[in-house]
Structure 1
Amino acid sequence: MQALKETNFHFPEQTGFYRGKVRDVYYFKDKLALVATDRISAFDVVLPRAIPYKGQVLNQIAASFLEATASVVPNWVLNQPAPNVTIGRQCETFKVEMVIRGYLAGHAWREYSAGKRTLCGVTLPEGLRENDPFPEPIITPTTKAAEGHDEDISREEILRQGIVSKQDYVQLEAYTRALFQKGTELAAERGLILVDTKYEFGKADGIIYVIDEIHTPDSSRFFYSEGYEERQKSGEPQRQLSKEFVRQWLIENGFQGKDGQQVPEMTDAKVSEISQRYIELYEKLLGKKFLPQDYASQPHTLQESIAANIF
């Protein structure tokens, strides 16, 4: 299987280009084209091997959830000319990511189990176990780093530093909670629990839009609803849909993105396994068969798709 690790297109009216951890972004006058490549990152580090079909999986999941939440919060999408390409409004991006958590899992659990009882300025209750629900969802923002690690930050610090105005931040919080509520309802229809997720926002012509992807396995964590209570009572790990299986494999092999640590070798078998897991995530989240597109061997078709829908 081939993977689309990067693109290097050049368009006549292109005004800029940005290569993120996993996306290649082409800027035009008032639009942008986002190519979801097959690169994969964990602990804010891009791993050396790309994962076949991962970009298509994430882009199509995001497209489905953005369409399903468009009546709740305006989003940046204009159209999707190819399975791993989205064209949308060019927005001025807010320099924070809005992370919202309904359960004590992942990063929050690692902090809690280390003895911390405050996360991003939010006080956490005593006596919680891993994967327990919070009394109500909590928002734990992070700074949005162009390179390296995103950092936890509190609401108070965001406002003190003027990273986001108070008026805009209040709106970001309201949109975050509304999206999480809608995402929770959509997940329940698929027999899933939306555990935690992150949203990014931008502004264009005075309007705030949710941008990038939402409710994908890379940006979110899902538990299976069936058996959740029983597993919590018995102290068993929860069955989940997320990228956590990649993080756990890295942790087990001595890598958490810290200085001096080496990314473990990703064999062909491991790459294939991860690819299949992403396809399974797609089919469970969307309830339909995944139809793979081989853009890795024909990148010119992506370039043509973008050009036809921009100009």
Structure 2
Amino acid sequence: MSLADKVLAVNNDLPIRTDKPVHSGKVRSVYWLTEADSRRLIQEKGYPVAPDAPLAVMVISDRISAFDCIWTGEGNLRGVPGKGAALNAIANHWFKLFKEQGLADSHILDIPHPAVWIVQKARPVMIEAIARQYITGSMWRAYSKGEREFCGIQLPDGLSKDQKLPELLITPSTKGILKGIPGVPEADDVNITRKNIEDNFAAFNFRSAGDIDRYEQLLKEGFDVISAELEKLDQVFVDTKFEFGYVTDAEGNEKLIYMDEVGTPDSSRIWDGAQYRNGEVVENSKEGFRQALLNHFPDPDILLNKDRMDEREALARDNELPESMLMDVSATYVGIAEKIIGEKLVISDNPKAEIVQVLRDAYGLID
């Protein structure tokens, strides 16, 4: 079996029974189950949700995106072997810890296969909440040019690159294009302040102004839980993205939960602790792949400059990366996953066939 066969690159063509269009993101595809299948599974599996809660099957691919483009490799390598399984295993691990430590639930109800989650429909809060413990990346680039205010937060002078910040910062941005909010540009992923959120909490899908405090509390507590666990592995939790939403539980109560994924190499920066103490940054996250791309192409401005998006898309479409670049990412993701979960990661030889079999035999979702 070739390396390319082990990669789950296309994940929106599975024969899962659904009466709605399949929603495909950069990495995951979502299959909304029929009302009958949702009700049946809630009853059969005893999921702790309202009997009429809409459920979905979420299938993660091994595709790799960076700089808003999907990248491929030589030899028909359409993704990174083991990447999807690594991301799911890490997120599952953190979500379980959050629940055990009394923080909040997630949208995940069941894990039929390492690449699959069964989730309940959540009403998303329209914020990508970034928590930062160190100054690096886009924040450092802006700071080094003289900017001192980020999302309404003032930073002191005299900080140096990759330094630990005086406190954990929450720097939110919009999730999707939000219209009609005073002072907030109608564009995806623009930075916003806490005051923007307070003044327009309903527009960001918060139920109440008090839930802004709740989301910040869950974000800080979640960050601290992951940071403390990574510290035991001598890994530095640098920054991460959290997403939140509302669900209704079996008793009919609406509650704020964690959704999407948490603490993964796709949504976070994780540095090797020993190397960091030596004054060197070694990435155990997607940031390493971003740096490799910047070094690989002669004009890195194409990847950094949003005004050159057409050229960037052409670069991703027309260039197959060396196999070694994608295998480096595989080693990083699988390596950090195995550290975090404390066991060997199971990587399928033929993920698509396995997923079809388990969803047919154990869940009755494939005819």
User: TM-score by structure 2 length?
Assistant: 0.76
Measured at CA, do residues 17 and 250 of structure 1 come closer, stay the same or move farther in structure 2, by a change above 3 Å? same
Return 111-120 or 172-181, whichever deviates more. 111-120
Return 210-219 or 65-74, whichever deviates more. 65-74
SS of alignment partner, residue 218 of structure 2 = helix
Give percent identity, aligned residues only.
30
Aligned to 1:53: 82
Aligned to 2:288: 245
Measured at CA, do residues 238 and 273 of structure 1 come closer, stay the same or move farther in structure 2, by a change above 3 Å? closer
Cα shift readout 1:260-292 (whole Å, capped 9, x = no counterpart): 333354122322222222222222333322221
Q: Does 1:64 align with 2:93?
A: yes
Which amino acid in the other structure matches residue 66 of structure 1?
F
Which amino acid in the other structure matches residue 36 of structure 1?
I
Instruction: Indicate the structure (1 or 2) with the bigger Cα radius of gyration.
Output: 2
Return 268-277 or 93-102, whichever deviates more. 268-277
Aligned to 2:152: 121
Q: Does 1:170 align with 2:213?
A: yes
CA contact (8 A) 2:18 2:31 kept: no
CA contact (8 A) 2:21 2:31 kept: yes
Q: Distance in 2 between matches of 1:43 and 1:141?
A: 19
Q: Distance in 2 between matches of 1:52 and 1:230?
A: 31
Aligned to 2:173: 142
Give the aligned CA root-mean-square deviation in angstroms: 2.2
CA contact (8 A) 1:22 1:46 kept: no
Cα shift readout 1:212-236 (whole Å, capped 9, x = no counterpart): 21111111112222353441xxxxx
Aligned to 1:201: 244
Measured at CA, do residues 169 and 47 of structure 1 come closer, stay the same or move farther in structure 2, by a change above 3 Å? farther
Residue 182 of structure 1, CA deviation:
0.8
Aligned to 2:341: 286
Q: Distance in 2 between matches of 1:109 and 1:94?
A: 27
CA contact (8 A) 2:133 2:164 kept: yes
Matches within 5 A, 1:214-293: 214-231=262-279, 237-252=280-295, 253=297, 254=300, 255-256=303-304, 258=306, 259=308, 260-261=311-312, 262-263=315-316, 265-293=320-348
Return 70-79 or 282-291, whichever deviates more. 282-291
CA contact (8 A) 1:80 1:86 kept: yes
Which amino acid in the other structure matches residue 242 of structure 2?
Y
Q: 1:160 aligns with which of 186, 199, 210?
A: 199
Q: Does 1:36 align with 2:77?
A: no
CA contact (8 A) 1:73 1:179 kept: no
| Structure 1 moving runs of 4+ over 6 Å | none
Q: Distance in 2 between matches of 1:183 and 1:168?
A: 22
CA contact (8 A) 2:83 2:330 kept: yes
Q: 1:300 aligns with which of 340, 353, 358?
A: 353
Q: Which runs of 5+ in 2 are unaligned?
A: 36-53, 73-77, 178-186, 249-253
Aligned to 2:127: 96
Q: Distance in 2 between matches of 1:187 and 1:111?
A: 28
Cα shift readout 1:173-219 (whole Å, capped 9, x = no counterpart): 11101101111111112111211111111111211110121111111
Measured at CA, do residues 45 and 119 of structure 1 come closer, stay the same or move farther in structure 2, by a change above 3 Å? farther
Residue 36 of structure 1, CA deviation:
1.0
Q: Distance in 2 between matches of 1:277 and 1:224?
A: 11
Matches within 5 A, 1:71-90: 71-90=102-121
Which amino acid in the other structure matches residue 58 of structure 1?
L
CA contact (8 A) 1:102 1:137 kept: yes
SS of alignment partner, residue 59 of structure 2 = strand
SS of alignment partner, residue 170 of structure 1 = helix
SS of alignment partner, residue 202 of structure 1 = strand
Q: Distance in 2 between matches of 1:39 and 1:149?
A: 22
SS of alignment partner, residue 240 of structure 1 = coil
Aligned to 2:25: 20
SS of alignment partner, residue 284 of structure 1 = helix
Which amino acid in the other structure matches residue 359 of structure 2?
I
Which amino acid in the other structure matches residue 51 of structure 1?
V
SS of alignment partner, residue 270 of structure 1 = helix
Aligned length: 303
Residue 47 of structure 1, CA deviation:
2.4
SS of alignment partner, residue 274 of structure 2 = coil
SS of alignment partner, residue 271 of structure 2 = strand
Q: Distance in 2 between matches of 1:309 and 1:64?
A: 23
Measured at CA, do residues 65 and 14 of structure 1 come closer, stay the same or move farther in structure 2, by a change above 3 Å? farther
SS of alignment partner, residue 349 of structure 2 = coil
CA contact (8 A) 1:158 1:164 kept: no
